Structure 1
Amino acid sequence: MRTALITGGTSGIGEAAVRVFAKAGWRVVTTGRRKERLDALVAELGADKVQAAAFDVRDEAARDAALDALPAEFRAFDLLVNNAGLALGTAPAQSASLDQWKTMIDTNVTALVSLTRKLLPELVARKGAIINISSVAGNYPYPGGNVYGGTKAFVRQFSLGLRSDLAGTGVRVTSIEPGMVETEFTLVRTSGNQDASDKLYGGADPMTGEDIAETLLWVAELPPHLNINTLELMPVSQSFAGFQVARS
């Protein structure tokens, strides 16, 4: 039985992925800060299929302690899904919060590379796979995207760099780059503004966490000689942003 480590399993894509992988016969370890949500997933899906490790991905000591405390059969990973991440704020760069910028970098970049580096020797030994969740925000700029878009561009490029370095090891690396997915993403970004979330997704028929989770499973279960380098997904209703023109 293969084992996946899925970060950010308390909501959205991560939560959906835990369910999809567990129901497909994988063992799953999932992480997040909200222990009660992780515990609910374990209760729903069964401790023989899912184990929870509650910690903030930015806290390396807490991360290591939580992973070391897992049952033995859940400690050898065949797949790492780096899903934990967030966007904070929608302000233009000149008025954005530096603290929010640093939190996004610490979570979306530093924590991701730290966990990846920790697990790389094991993933190489097991000829495993890494799936990093990037975003179309890393490919197409938009007003207010600034540092969030920059972190996701890093995730894409880091994934391609990993792929280059891991050539010949059998380890597969994929960057998944979704567009509009209706999750708690906008609530987090706007400090809980439900109206902003409803306005963004209303009438757009956006993708769901389940849509992306099914895509992750498809990538993970491809034959071992196939690698999806990058995969960009959008709802049909969404397309690339147009150019901006500032007129006098």
Structure 2
Amino acid sequence: MSAAGDSAEAAVGTGDGVPARVIGHDRPCAGIAILTLRPWARLPHHPGQAVPVQTPRCPGRWRWYSPANLPRPDGTVELHVRAVAAGTVSGSLVHDVRPGELLHLGPPRDTGLHLRDGDLLLVAGGTGLAPLRALVEQVAAAPDGRRVTLVVGARTFAELYDAIALDKLQRAHGWLTIVPALSHDSHADPAEQGDALTLALRHHQPHQQVYVCGPPAMVDIARCWLPLAGVPEDRLHLPDPAGP
């Protein structure tokens, strides 16, 4: 069992968590699902936090996922899940779970990705987009003059799984710039070709708060490389390695 699984189970303890009914299960591209859940009791989460999730299809196994949304009036929660090799829980959530089923949610936990003052440069890899999109929604709920650039990494345009929601956000908010970073798409615009971290540096300004969330390898590279590339360490924010 992974350390992430151990910490998720420890966070829940001996309880079963809060039941949450699956009311939406979308498969926007291969290997990824967007789940919309309606918890039986309101989940007191904040943008950037992570929540332990369990499906009865995998009894006793909990895994961390970050809600992709600001808390909503109807209490629903949106999760982005990628099926990973040897990932029993993620595979079940993507391939097997259907609307009407119950999942269980544990108590939210901070990851270090909470909103800070100033302009933002957000860099997402894969489903690491979820907590960063929640931060964008938090800014949209109370605009304060800051500007936000969101770089979204995927292999190809077809794997840019949340494109419709991102397009709606950009059309609604003039302060938001969304930059696709397509690492393996030869048909993409040249300004959109490359990995997310490389493209992010093209948009970086010294005054920005920089957030990176994605696969562990991407976060490790960001931790080592971005300060060398000119990102001030006190303005670089990554998921807490001691957290979920």
| Common fold: TM-score over 0.5 | no
Q: Per residue, is there more strand in 1 or in 2?
A: 2
Relative to total residues, which structure has the larger helix share, 1 or 2?
Answer: 1
**TM-score, normalization by structure 1:** 0.33
TM-score by structure 2 length?
0.34
